[in-house]
């Protein structure tokens, strides 16, 4: 274990699997006491056990972040209690992605996506930043997406919700920065999920053809970026969206 986050506390939403899990494990490995959160208590307990077995500090707080202020406030209170009275680092990772086109998206789906992806992090951040002000500082890391700037045929609602999150990142940096809170975002590219079927993996590989990386990424790549943004190494970084996408959005893709 290293110590870039020694003595810090962190809450990572949606951290029982995939990117969120990797971020929780990585922050704990750097010395942070983390709260793992999500809907699945069994998976949450497994992540906590993994961190503790590695010598880290972790607890689990169940949360169903549906976008209601009450759900976000409840998680903020639970995490603050588990972490001894303060949350130094908030990672807004939880999100949903419905594989629907615009004609097949109903109002219920639209509201759920914006509830989970935009309203939940908004009200969770609102609930936690006052204590960060009092403590003299803190860090917020949001999760955006590469398809906010490079359109794909499916996922209009998801991409627009993540565009809102990236805009909130810049707005919050302006609003909170003068009071010691750094706000930045990570924009993941095509990241392999442990639950993918072979067909999905193949399609993801096709999307990365011609990019500098030439392949899908791993959740640990996003976790490494989160550690950087949460640490003092990024003390002069405010309002940035860090692309961790194998060059998908920043480099011309040549069909091969």
pLDDT for the residue 166:
97
Higher pLDDT, 184 or 207: 184
Q: How many domains are there within the chain?
A: 1
Does residue 117 have a pLDDT over 70?
Answer: yes
Q: What is the pTM of this model?
A: 0.95
Say yes or no to pLDDT of 167 above 80: yes
- Judged by average pLDDT, the poorest of 128-137, 152-161, 174-183, 247-256 is 247-256
Instruction: Calculate mean pLDDT across residues 43-55.
Output: 98
When pLDDT is averaged across residues 236-253 and rounded to a whole number, the result is 93
- Assess if residue 188 is contained within a domain: yes
Q: How do residues 196-212 score in pLDDT, each as one tens digit? A: 555 555 666 677 888 88
Q: How far apart are CA 86 and CA 160, in angstroms?
A: 32
**Mean pLDDT, the chain, whole residue set:** 93
pLDDT at residue 255 tops 70: no
Helix (H, G, I), strand (E, B) or coil at 156: helix
> In 10 A of CB 36, how many CB atoms?
32
User: Residue 100's pLDDT is what?
Assistant: 86
Is 158 a catalytic site residue?
Answer: yes
Distance of CA 63 to the CA centre of its chain: 15
In a domain, 252, yes or no: no
Which of 48-52, 55-59, 146-150, 177-181 is least confident?
146-150
The residue from 114, 158, 172, 176 that is catalytic is 158
Confidence category of residue 107, pLDDT binned at 50, 70, 90: very high
d(CA 212, CA 94): 28
Ranges of H-type helices in 194-240? 198-207, 219-230
Q: What is the pLDDT of residue 195?
A: 64
Q: What's the pLDDT score for residue 172?
A: 98
| Strand order, beta sheet including 241-244 | 57-62, 33-38, 9-12, 89-92, 138-143, 181-188, 241-244
- For residue 88, give its domain range: 9-244
CATH of the domain at 150: 3.40.50.720
pLDDT at 75 over 80: yes
Lowest-confidence segment of 1-5, 81-85, 131-135 by average pLDDT = 1-5
Residue of 203 and 114 predicted with greater confidence: 114
Q: How far is 85 from 65, CA to CA, in rounded Å?
A: 21
CA–CA distance, 109 with 61 (Å, rounded to integer): 26
């Amino acid at each position: 274990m290293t110590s870039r986050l020694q003595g810090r506390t962190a809450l990572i939403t949606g951290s029982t699997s995939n990117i969120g899990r990797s971020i929780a494990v990585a922050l704990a490995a750097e010395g942070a006491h983390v709260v793992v959160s999500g809907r699945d208590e069994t998976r949450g307990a497994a992540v906590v056990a993994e961190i503790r077995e590695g010598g880290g500090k972790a607890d689990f707080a169940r949360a169903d972040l549906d976008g209601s202020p009450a759900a976000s406030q409840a998680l903020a209170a639970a995490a603050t209690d588990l972490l001894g009275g303060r949350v130094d680092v908030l990672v807004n990772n939880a999100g949903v992605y419905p594989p629907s086109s615009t004609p097949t998206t109903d109002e219920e789906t639209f509201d759920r996506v914006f509830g989970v992806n935009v309203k939940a992090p908004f009200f969770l951040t609102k609930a936690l930043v006052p204590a960060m002000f009092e403590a003299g500082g803190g860090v917020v890391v949001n999760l955006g997406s590469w398809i906010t700037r490079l359109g794909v045929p499916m996922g209009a609602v998801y991409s627009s919700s993540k565009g809102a999150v990236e805009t909130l990142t810049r707005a919050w940096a302006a609003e909170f920065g003068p009071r010691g809170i750094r706000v930045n975002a990570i924009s993941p590219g095509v990241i392999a999920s442990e639950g993918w079927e072979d067909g999905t993996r193949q399609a993801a590989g096709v999307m990365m053809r011609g990019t500098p990386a030439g392949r899908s990424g791993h959740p640990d790549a996003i976790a490494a970026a989160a550690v950087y943004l949460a640490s003092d190494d990024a003390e002069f970084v405010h309002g940035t969206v860090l692309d961790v996408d194998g060059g998908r959005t920043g480099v011309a893709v040549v069909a091969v």
